[in-house]
Structure 1
């Protein structure tokens, strides 16, 4: 079946040549481009999330046979969360092949963390359906690379960790305040300040509000833990 240049190039970066190339096309189709004759990637995203979860569960169990469930769970979450999927998607430039509606494209959809993360999960499902679990597992472990080996032993979402730190000291949950927003509408840049009830605070700047909040939380947690 005929492939576009974008599809062929992405297959090279994935390391998998599709027998059913329409699966990959569907995995790259955002809901803003769906139509009666064109399925979007939401169902594949649902499946890909489960395939990724199984691969990472196996890898973590094999990599540390002495770890407890309590130690494995935060590592697992760090490897499968949307930010991790989006980072891998950005590394192999899935955004260049995404099929987006005009409004989503104009708002910088090819660089949005949520869209990239969803597309990565959908692509995983497409590979799984095209070639089976073993091929999907090999691709996932290759693309995630040393992330599995170097995942922090106590890997946690920084916002969750900061909230637990505050609650353990009888404080209310941290507040996240948008200090500024700059840049064009299609590529905004956010500066977020994380604040604790004791007056401690830290700021971070990123191209996505959620990422800026995470970075601000991490900075504040580091500050109060080592201050």
Structure 2
């Protein structure tokens, strides 16, 4: 008699959600490993990765961010062949920001599969935007290292599809576009609030939040308040248009 069919493992379930079959899941497991887990569970780095590298996903995140940027830039050039750099830049920033990566991570329920230290897990780490966004970038790097740029591009273009669709509605002046969007729906005007300022006086970095009643607030960063407000408006427009079309 044949043996009972084995149930898919937890990592196999994630592989199905990602839509890419790894030759070895070592890299994927590393991409899921937060620093809080790695400090108490040291593990030898996967074959083919730098010997002596830390066992968490931070180095993969670094690489995945660059792979994501390349694929997004290529796709923007393809979709908007007549757009100037000044029109492409805000679209690019909206697509590669940590919040967008976290939304993609949530779409494949990545938080369920993360390896976190007990303290971070108890603190709600599986739903934190920064942790999810970083892990998503690490997964991109794992796919790239295992299967090359073609495999990574396929994952990104599929999972970022609604976000690419959303940026079609973005304007060079996103603040004005958002104002018109709110007025067209009978909503109160957007409210912008400075959340943080960092960096030296000669090169500050502002973080601005924009809120409209009844909708989740969105954040943006820039080297001036105006630029940060535009980035926040970009993020709001991308999220809401993408939500309307999904």
TM-score by length of 2: 0.64
1:86 corresponds in structure 2 to 102
1:185 corresponds in structure 2 to none
Root-mean-square deviation over aligned CA pairs: 3.4
CA distance in 1, matches of 2:141, 2:31: 8
**Structure 1 unaligned runs (5+)?**
163-172, 178-192, 196-200, 223-227
CA distance in 2, matches of 1:115, 1:155: 31
Change (3 A) 1:194 1:17: closer
1:24 aligns to 2:24 (yes or no) = no
Shift of 1:43: 0.1
2:4 corresponds in structure 1 to none
CA distance in 2, matches of 1:156, 1:30: 38
Paired residue secondary structure (1:65): coil
CA distance in 2, matches of 1:194, 1:80: 18
Change (3 A) 1:4 1:118: farther
2:58 corresponds in structure 1 to 42
Aligned with 1:72 (options 88, 94, 115) = 88
1:56 aligns to 2:72 (yes or no) = yes
User: Where does structure 1 differ by over 6 angstroms across 4 or more consecutive aligned residues?
Assistant: 155-158, 201-205
Query: Residue 32 of structure 2 contacts residue 135 of structure 2 at CA under 8 Å; is this kept in 1?
Result: yes
1:120 corresponds in structure 2 to 136
Tell me how many residue pairs correspond in the alignment: 182
**Structure 2 unaligned runs (5+)?**
1-6, 45-54, 180-191, 197-207, 221-228, 238-246
CA distance in 2, matches of 1:156, 1:24: 40
1:6 aligns to 2:10 (yes or no) = yes
